[in-house]
Structure 1
Amino acid sequence: MTTLNRTLGEIARDLPGATGIFHQYKLDFCCGGDITLEAAAAKRGVDGAMIAASLDALRERSQAADSLAGAPNEELIEHILNRFHDVHREQLPELIRLAQRVERVHGNRPDCPAGLAAQLENMLAELESHMAKEEQILFPMIARGMAGMAAAPVAVMRHEHDDHGAALEGVLALTNDITLPADACNTWRALYLGLATFRDDLMEHIHLENNVLFNRIDGRMGGADRG
């Protein structure tokens, strides 16, 4: 059964954090919890597919966190490379293309996310630089058990993560928190659905590095080395 076909009550019961997403879209999972997400979204006039994607990403994050918290460093690094580095390199060029098209076609509308393509281009450049430093310098050091030498690069990566978070806030500001206009075209819908997925992926990416892998290097919150 897909997320769209499950009731709000079931989702709220089974997925920690789902109620926050429901509150964001003003979906009644309490008294109205016996209707499907698809029906509730249609009734409210919001994009059910986008909400389902956010819920699915939340579920994946929860499952990934459970399974990876105790994984060895090498396994965690491999997951980060495959699940996030490779994926971001696919996501952002397509999002830039979609944003350029939306801005070109709908630039005369006040709700058009003007400047979004440029913001995403900057994010891609910054992420590429950041990921290259991790792939070429930091991750090999961690994999070789050079925790002492890795502490300084980790501090730099944490700072750059803060910059990525600020850039993501800029995307949210330009898109009204990725809220679609009621009459949005298919390209606009595809753009915002992709942005929601990218937002969730980037947040999970940063979380796994900052709060799991990097904690093992710099000892924050009692992190222990798992080389």
Structure 2
Amino acid sequence: MGTFTAEHTPAEIVKLFPKASDLFKRRRIDFCCGGDKPLSETFTKRNLNETAVLTELNDAYDTWQNSDHDVVDWSAVHPSELIDHIVSTHHAYLNEELPALGKFVTKILRVHGEKHKHLQELHRLYNEFKVEMEEHMIKEENEVFPLIKEYEKNPSEELLNHIRKANGGLGDEHVAAGNFLKRMNEITNGFEPPIDACNSYRITYARLADMESDTYEHVHLENNVLFKNLA
């Protein structure tokens, strides 16, 4: 694939060109939960400038191809290796960050909620997202991931069907998590703190933006690489 077109999906592009995720996040183009739809649909739905986006994307890809880059092609590694990466990188990050960041979200609601009414909705959304992701990761680590690792060692149609059944609700949970993130992004104006924001306010928004970025990468690896190979 040399040049990306509007017929390519964001998921396909990020698989080949991981840094495209930065552009997609900046343009608010879904590459994880809804990443299997052609870019043309997003361009039409969001009224985005197709030429501008594709030019930026292909220029960045050309630059990346001509530079030294050390990026793992996760579609080429064993499922067990990808699972270990997801757990040690993305699950570990969320397990540490979710409770810590939650304290900041509560703090800015308490201090600034009267003046900035959207912080009440942010607080509710964040805590629903936190519960959703914690339960989701437990289900993956206790039920689904061990089955996938066992299938890698001893493949059988029966075990594959078991995995698909266990995996049944994970896709819906990914969509729900993505919707929480999208709404949090909307009501905070892309996690842009107000001009008069204090340090705690700014730190909270910066960490929310980091969490959004990490979660999109996390869900992309599961939806478009790990689970896609078992579909």
Q: How much identity, in percent, do the aligned residues show?
A: 31
Asked if 2 retains the 8 angstrom alpha-carbon contact of 1:111 and 1:181, the reply is no
Distance 1:117 1:188 in 2: 13
Structure 2 counterparts to residues 67-216 of structure 1, below 5 A? 67-110=73-116, 113-145=119-151, 146-216=159-229
Q: Which residue of 1 aligns with 2:60?
A: none
Change (3 A) 1:167 1:22: closer
Summarize the Cα distance change of 1:17–1:205 in structure 2 as closer, same or farther, 3 Å threshold. Answer: closer
Q: Could you list the runs of 5+ residues in structure 2 that have no partner in the other structure?
A: 1-18, 29-63, 152-158
Q: Deviations over 1:112-156 (max 9, x none)?
A: 522322221111111111111111110011000132321122231
Residues in 1 aligned to 2:133 and 2:25: alpha-carbon distance in whole angstroms: 27
- Equivalent position of 1:45 in the other structure: none
CA distance in 1, matches of 2:228, 2:180: 23
1:130–1:160 Cα contact (<8 Å) kept: yes
Deviation at 1:16, TM superposition (A): 4.5
Q: How many residue pairs end up in the alignment?
A: 167
TM-score by length of 1: 0.66
Please give the alpha-carbon distance, in whole angstroms, between the structure 2 residues aligned to 1:188 and 1:98: 8
Structure 1 gap segments, 5+ residues each:
1-14, 25-58, 219-227
**Whole-angstrom distance in 2 between the partners of 1:64 and 1:159:** 33
Q: Which structure ranks higher in relative contact order (CA pairs < 8 Å, sequence separation ≥ 6)?
A: 2
Letter in 1 for 2:209: A
